[in-house]
Structure formats: structure tokens, C-alpha cells
Amino acid sequence: NELIKKCGETCRAVLKYTLNTNVRISDWRDYVSQCKELGYDLSEKSVLKPSHFHEAHERCTNLIKIKASKESDEKMKERAEFLKQFEFIDEELGLFIRIPQNTEEIVSEGKTLIHCVGGYAERHANGKTNILFVRKTDEPDTPYYTMEVSNDYKIVQCRGYRNDTRTPKSDIVKQFEQKYLNFLEELKKDEEQSKRKKSKKTA
């Protein structure tokens, strides 16, 4: 009844989704409550009925933990100096890389662009990966694309609204990715050179 009244689903639709995805109705109800707490738009079918329900449910659970945790934000502050090296701007293309300041910003990014980057907030805070915001220079506070960069300076993914399923990635964004990849390669060379110098001093 709660799913029918609050989400506008029919009894048939509820049963069909739970049977097809092997999901208990009580788990789905809990997931819907989590989405509301995180401010997700449940009118979006991809949010209300995720194709991989258990992963989405676990991701929401972790996000709520992160949202309530100051520890993750403290870890991000500790990483601030390291993350500065990823800052980059291309005036010609009108795009730049912005570093998230706290976990709430990463959660908000995923909510606005309707993709799963929020689930990476804890990994970013713990230094297991690096989440970066691609923004337009004339709209610096508006989410545009989200990029994940590995600790060995490789672009893992760069996703826009709904993972680019509705609007294909533009040539400008593709050019920016390539330029940023070249920038990352230089960062990697600098790091390797620094390691070699330290190794020689130790020897």
C-alpha cells in the first residue's frame, strides 16, 4: 500500500517488479525511504526501479552512512593537498576540473546528474580513487560531467547526465578528455621522476 500510494505504482506493477528482480517488497520500501532521505527524484523510473536493485540499495545505505559521517569529510581535507595536482583548465574549450570539497558535494553531483557517482564518495575519501568535477568556466557551480581518475593517473570514466544515455557526449567534452589525459600522463612522469630521485638519495 505504501508503494502504491507514495510512488503511484499499481499492485500489478509492484508485483511484476519484485518478481522479475527477486526483491522483497519490504526491501523495496526501505530503498524508497532511503531515496527520499537522499533527495532522489522517484518520478524517474531508473531511480524508483533500478535494474540492479541490490547494488542500488547497498549504495544508498552507504551514502546515508557517509552523509552522517564527519570522518569522511576529515579524510577529504587530509587529501586536499594531493588533489590540487588534478586541477586543470582549458580556456579554449571553456571547461575545467574542480575538486570536490566534501562527500556531500559528491552525493549531490550524483543526484543532479542522475548517475551513481555518490556511491564512490567513500572510496574517494579513503584515497582508493579520485572523483573530479568537469565544469563549464561560465557555469562553475553547475554539475556538467563527473570524472573518475585512478591513482595511476588514468581516466576510468567520465559521465554526464544519466550516464550520457539521452544526450551523447559532445566533441568538446571528448577533446577535453584527451587534453586532460595528456595532462595526467605528465603528472605520472613527474611522480615517477620524483620516486627515482628519492630512491637514489636513499641508496
Reported as a single tens digit per residue, the pLDDT across 103-128 is 889 988 988 998 888 778 888 999 99
pLDDT of residue 99: 96
Q: What is the pTM of this model?
A: 0.74
Task: Please state, in angstroms and rounded to a whole number, the distance separating the CA atoms of residues 190 and 35.
Answer: 43
- Closest listed residue to residue 173, CA positions, set 160, 186, 183: 160
Q: Are 88 and 96 in contact (CB under 8 A)?
A: yes
Q: How confident is the model over 70-98, as a mean pLDDT?
A: 93
Mean pLDDT for 48-53 is: 90
Distance from C-alpha of 20 to C-alpha of 30, rounded to nearest angstrom: 18
Confidence of residue 68 (pLDDT cuts 50, 70, 90): low
Position 174 scores a pLDDT of 96
Report d(CA 107, CA 126) in Å as an integer.
15
User: Are the C-beta atoms of 132 and 153 separated by less than 8 Å?
Assistant: no
Query: Contact, 152 vs 171, CB < 8 A?
Result: no
Decide if 111 contacts 36 (C-beta within 8 A): no
Sheet of 155-159: strand order equals 88-90, 95-98, 130-136, 145-149, 155-159
